[in-house]
Amino acid sequence: MNEAIRTHPRKALRRKLLLTVSSVVLLLAAEARAEDADHPILWIEFGGAFDQISNGEDGWLPHNLTPPISKPSPEPFGHVPNIGYDFDGAITFAPEDSAWTYTASVRYGRGQLSRHTHDQTYQLTHNFLGKYALTTYAFLNASQIGHSAHAILDFTAGRDVGLGLFRGDEATLNFGIRVVQLNEHARATLGAFSTAPAKYSTGKIVHEADASITRGFTGAGPTVAWDDSAPLLGSMHDGLSFDWGANVAILFGRQKARLALHTKNTRYYGYGANAVLSHATYTPVRDKTVAVPNAGGFAGLSWRLPNGKISFGYRADFFFGAIDGGLTSAKSETRGFYGPFANVSIGIGG
């Protein structure tokens, strides 16, 4: 009898503990469901970035500038810009009572290069009266313009996997399709004469050159991305967070290069008479199927609100061997776009 009386308080204590723990768990679950119900089901994101562009293509310097007409000689033709900018946007659908999200995003960027070279060298002499006179001079004008554009489209489905590297963070694994188009075009012209008489046109040799170079890649393939966010101040839905992520893809598509290189040397004798000393045109066209590995990542900070987010950071994307940067023969070159970014997200519904 005494034993029963002594053990009864222990059983009562266990019951109270179980009831307390169960109540806390139910309250937390109800709160989590309430928070999830308050979350927007549609997110719209837009922003931009400043790009540095890796450009490793071969340039072309016309052979009829040997020996050099000007010092310094003009830069080789056919280069693309190494600085550009991006615009990007995304729509994410996050259904209620689901750990999955569905995203469609697009990024478009471009850059432009413009350069001009001018050189004019005078040769003076003096006559028996001691007066100086202009005898001959070398003259060169060269200009080139380069354009670069890229478009990246992603269609992905992501799931919250709860395997973040930091305490209290959110991690999402995304699977989908990436479509990429890279376009580059450069045009250049050159006009020069080497030892032109100052008074008469007899014997003047005119050097001409022009170039049109187009390179590009279009491809698509599977992509996998990992996104992670960890709270720094406040919560994941109202405060400052650290964001980072990485992505990989393999893209299958067409790599193209079309070049038109032309040089011409002409001697002018005066009175409309001239003779073509040399004339050369080179027009290689290459088109082949390639597989392009793609890798990228980002890191930054976000200020989160229940229905909005402002983010800024640094990101990079590299497409290995995507561009045929050769002249007389094919040469695979990597294109990379990297730099600071900023974007704004707005949540709708929920």
**Closest by Cα among 53, 184, 59, 195 to 121:** 195
- Count up the domains in the chain and report the number: 2
Q: Can you tell me the distance from the alpha carbon of 109 to that of 112, in angstroms, rounded to the nearest whole number?
A: 11
Q: How confident is the model at residue 35 (pLDDT cuts 50, 70, 90)?
A: very low
Give yes or no: residues 17 and 110 share one domain: no
What confidence score (pLDDT) does residue 184 get?
95
User: Can you give the pLDDT at residue 30?
Assistant: 42
Using CB atoms within 10 Å of the CB of residue 286, give its burial: 0 to 12 exposed, 13 to 18 middle, 19+ buried.
Answer: middle
296/278 Cα distance (integer angstroms) = 48
On whether both 22 and 97 belong to a single domain, the answer is no
Q: Are residues 129 and 189 in the same domain?
A: yes
DSSP state of 54: -
* pTM (two decimals): 0.80
Distances (CA, A) of 75 to 2, 61, 198: 103, 7, 27
Residue with the bigger pLDDT between 135 and 83: it is 83
Helices (H) and strands (E) in the chain, counts: 1, 11
Asked which of 28-37, 40-49, 144-153, 172-181 is least confident by mean pLDDT, the reply is 28-37
d(CA 85, CA 52): 8
Q: Higher confidence at residue 12 or residue 273?
A: 273
Amino acid at site 231: P
Return the top range by mean pLDDT from 5-9, 48-52, 124-128: 48-52
| 86 and 142 in a common domain | yes
Residue 82 has pLDDT above 50, yes or no: yes
Q: Which of 149, 154, 176 is nearest to 45 (CA)?
A: 154
Residue with the two structure tokens 């600085």 = 83
- Percent of the chain whose pLDDT exceeds 90: 50
2 shares its domain with 136 = no
Q: When comparing pLDDT for 167 and 78, which is higher? A: 78
Q: Are 282 and 156 found together in one domain?
A: yes
Domain at 125, CATH number: 2.40.128
Which residue range is the domain that position 12 belongs to? 1-38
77 versus 30: the higher-pLDDT residue is: 77
Give the CA distances from residue 333 to residues 56, 96, 196, 326, in Å, rounded to whole numbers and listed in that order: 6, 45, 41, 9
Provide the pLDDT for residue 6. 45
Q: What is the mean pLDDT of residues 72-101?
A: 88
Q: From CA 250, how far away is CA 261, in angstroms rounded?
A: 33
Model pLDDT, residue 336: 94
On the question of pLDDT at 312 being above 60, the answer is yes
User: Are residue 100 and residue 214 in the same domain, yes or no?
Assistant: yes
At 37, the pLDDT band (50, 70, 90 cuts) reads very low
The single-letter DSSP state of residue 34 is H
Tokens 């009562």 -> residue: 12
**Three-state SS at 35:** helix
Task: Report DSSP state, residue 122.
Answer: E
CA 295 vs CA 117, 265, 276: distances in Å: 38, 47, 51
**How far, in Å, CA of 236 to CA of 168, rounded?**
8
Average pLDDT for residues 317-333, to the nearest whole number? 93
Q: What is the pLDDT of residues 9-28, one digit of tens each?
A: 545 544 554 454 445 434 44
One domain for residues 31 and 45: no
220, pLDDT greater than 80:
yes
Which residues are bridge partners to 211 per DSSP? 188, 261
- pLDDT, one tens digit per residue, over 277-295 is 888 999 999 999 999 999 9
The predicted-structure confidence for 45-70, as pLDDT tens digits, reads as follows 999 999 999 888 888 888 877 656 66
Task: Clarify whether residues 79 and 197 are in a common domain.
Answer: yes
Lowest mean pLDDT among 56-65, 195-204, 207-216, 309-318: 195-204
Answer yes or no: do 18 and 134 share one domain: no
Most confident listed range (96-105, 186-195, 233-242, 334-343): 334-343
Nearest to 309 by CA among 43, 93, 49, 38: 43
Q: What is the mean pLDDT of the chain?
A: 82
DSSP-assigned beta bridge partners for residue 146: 113, 186
> How is residue 271 written in tokens?
């009175």
Q: What are phi and psi of 244, to 5 degrees?
A: -155, 160
| Average pLDDT of the segment spanning 178-195 | 89
Residue 230: half-sphere exposure toward Cβ, Cα within 13 Å = 11
- Please give the pLDDT value at position 326: 92
Same domain, 24 and 90: no
Tell me, yes or no, whether 127 and 245 share the same domain.
yes
Cα separation, 70 vs 47, whole angstroms? 45
